[in-house]
Amino acid sequence: MAFSDLNPPETWFTHEECEAFEFMTPQQIDAEFDNFSWTEPRKLSWARKWRGVMLTWSDWTVLPDSALSESDQQLWRTYRQQLRDMFEEDLPVDEIVVPVQPWGTTPTVS
């Protein structure tokens, strides 16, 4: 899967520019959306934020007190390393390959 398949939300652009909806009138919000475009820097910013969320979400899988078996933890360590390595190559965001979470593994208790 590529990032272009994830359909990033248009609302993220307001966070990049340090604005929040509660401080904007409905007319201002409409004007912002009318002028919004997915530039490569915005895509890259969104992709990095997404990666950070995925890393944070999967932290529990590799903690010392995780209930996962060592083999399952290794699968998650591999996935997390793939997330960290996503931006190693200088590729356009739409060509970056998104690693697949090890959903297919059945967690086993140590």
In the chain, domain spans: 3-8+38-95
- For the chain, the C-alpha Rg in angstroms (whole number) is 18
**pTM, to two decimals:** 0.65
Q: What is the mean pLDDT of the chain?
A: 78
Confidence (pLDDT) at 77: 96
pLDDT band at 23 (very low <50, low <70, confident <90, very high): low
Mapping DSSP to helix (H, G, I), strand (E, B) and coil, where does residue 5 land?
helix
* Residue 80: predicted pLDDT: 95
pLDDT at position 52 over 80: yes
SS3 7: coil
Cβ partners under 8 Å of residue 86, min gap 6? 47, 51, 96, 97, 98, 99
- Residue 73's identity, in one-letter code, is Q
Among 4-8, 71-75, 83-87, 100-104, the least confident range: 4-8
